[in-house]
Structure 1
Amino acid sequence: MLASPVSAQTAEELASHYSREDMQQALKTREQYELYGLRFDSDKATLQPGAESLLDDLATTLKNFPEWGLRIVGHTDATGEPEANQALSVERANSIKTALVERGIDSARLQAGGAGERRPVANNQTAEGRALNRRVELVRFTDSVEAKKLLKAMSDYLAAQKAISFGYDANLQVVSNAGQKLGLASSGTVTLGRPDKVQTTRSGGFINVETVFDGKTLTLLGKDINKYTQVEIPGTVDHLVDELKDKYNLPLPAADLLMTNSYDELMMGVYDSKDLGSGVINGAECDSLAFRKDDVDFQIWVAQGQQPFPCRLVITSTQVSGGPEYSVQVRDWKSGDAVMLGDFNFKNTTNAVMVDVKDIKSKLGDMPENFVMGEGK
């Protein structure tokens, strides 16, 4: 999503080469522009004198293109504490938003956000690099009422179903140090009985696991190693999804789609939404919807008709080199009386050995043990 400045140019040079025409063309074609020249008081969100002409240009551009929405994202260098830089970047973006509203732009067309020091475009070890990192990112966005309406209809339909079952095929992409994309494919099944029962399977080249939850106890069975673990997590499936993700880093397949508030989960942080028209997944005609957040894009295909179930979900990282993706495609969708619900009790038919969750956790993820996560950047 980011377009890095040419490294040979300094922030001063980029600011001196600015023109309103270049900004408009970048927003029109790339939907993004890095703006230099807006200066703030040190460690404050107060715009310094000299910003008026740039702000006037921004307001004029938005008046010339009344269908545009504009997201204003502040960025800082790495001087100071990360938390303070994050807050400062948001405050500065809000200062620009306020200045544009004062120039007659409807606040509904403007969004303010901040990335702090998290997305540098240059080396923070030099004064020149820090100056390049102190910038304002402008992102043109679309706010499709129809896309959000269709996603909400899917969420409401899912929440109303007392029983759901489906098969799925998933693909997790990782990017090697050499920049090579590698896909890890798996398939499985999901059976859900609201509010507090779920059973899933997942098998692939590096994983073969079954998950059973009866409303009180979660059982995780590693079939290839014939070991299982049990954790007490009393509550609903919604609570289980949160616990597995936040506490154990073991998300359920298509977890966001299983929750009763899937719309809220999916839309958290979304600033751009598009209705891309129709598509066909597994022979079913679907509405194709696309959404953007600061760190990920996601596209979802929703079946048309009386059962607006999710047919395919693709999540793409925009802040990792190579743009790795996670996709899950749904098949054999059933709901209501068509679902054959079991008792959701774990039956140890293979005489699997019970172990502690920490002793089996590495065997339950999508990543093989010979894959090592790189350091954060």
Structure 2
Amino acid sequence: MAVRLLIRNASQLVTVSAHGARTKRGAEMRDLGIIEDGALLIDEGKIAWVGRSADAPSFDRSSPDVEVFDAEGRVVMPGFVDPHTHLIFAGSREDEFALRCEGLTYQQIAERGGGILNTVRATRGTDRKKLRSLASHRLDRLLRYGTTTAEIKSGYGLTEEDELKMLQAAHDLSAEHLVTVVSTFLGAHALPPEYADDRTGYIELITSQMIPYIARKGLARFVDVFCDSGYFTREETVRIFESATSNGLGLKLHADELSATGAVEDAARFGAASVDHLEYISKEEIGLLAKSETAAVLLPGVSFFLAQRYAPARELIESGAVVAIASDYNPGSCMSFSMPLMITIACTQMKMTPEEAITAATLNAAAAIGLSGERGSLEVGKWADIIILESSSYRSLPYEFGGNPIAHVVKNGVLLEF
């Protein structure tokens, strides 16, 4: 097996280089660091050299430890990073989709016992091995569509046993699957039926038992909360954040999806890695994010699938906030794992430029899960997570939508065969 891989003859080597910085903001997001007729050298899984094909290192093609790959005039760019998914689950909710087509809202379906709790029932009834198998198949599909790193949340168990089951399945996947997996504990996804009359008791369970145990066992990197109308309050969110912080876990937040909550202020104050959704974010909160290191993770597929308002991407970008995009792949509000499709929707519906959307799906997405120092751009020293498009222009990525634009995937320096 070759230790080194030289990729050359890329029409455009889209590096998304931030010259050592961890994020791109504002006008920087339009600079993709493109090298025409580009090449790069991978050594033991990491990028060792980047430049023009004419300047590429020379190797004896018969050398057994070197593989030379001709990109044949295609685009070479970083693999996608999906910083918000719920891909460990059982069951399906196409019946709820049909109800939405008849006019019911996401909230109305949830009030009838559907929504998140529908998936909770199915997931509770499925063992760890089966959940792992289902999720592994989903990760296979993500990888084929160019996603080389993905965050995975729990949140469909809502008991200590079932939340741990989900996180253990994610832990298994991180060891077994090619996709780099980052786990997030989302016990505060919805109030479980068992605690319908005891909100305080459930928050106590999360903060006093579940978070400390998860931290000790290394089962999650982040703790997330769904802070919104009908779910968890700002006060409850702060309690959970305090527990997570005291136990050494990072923070993430679902906020302003259904209503304006003001919770972005809490996320910024606690130094959360990201705050996600933001369809109802206020101008004041946009200003707070612009002054913080907290990434704004936008979920265009959710707004598209639910036919609801989109997050104000232009205002966030122009304010100087760190803007990322994710799929939010889940059985209720976005049954798509395709980051190419998310890029198209971000461009057509949120008025992001192709360059901004690509930056948001790579470097800034990696920052939203704390990995932009090692993934998300094609820079020397980073892991070689690379996709090669079918096209010779990166702008074809949002333009030619609906199919799979990925010709080849390189993961940790290994050219994969599908």
Bigger Rg over Cα:
1
Q: Which TM-score tier does this pair reach, normalised by the shorter chain? A: under 0.3
Q: Which has the higher contact order (CA 8 A, sep 6+)?
A: 2
Q: TM-score, normalised by structure 2?
A: 0.25
Q: TM-score, normalised by structure 1?
A: 0.27
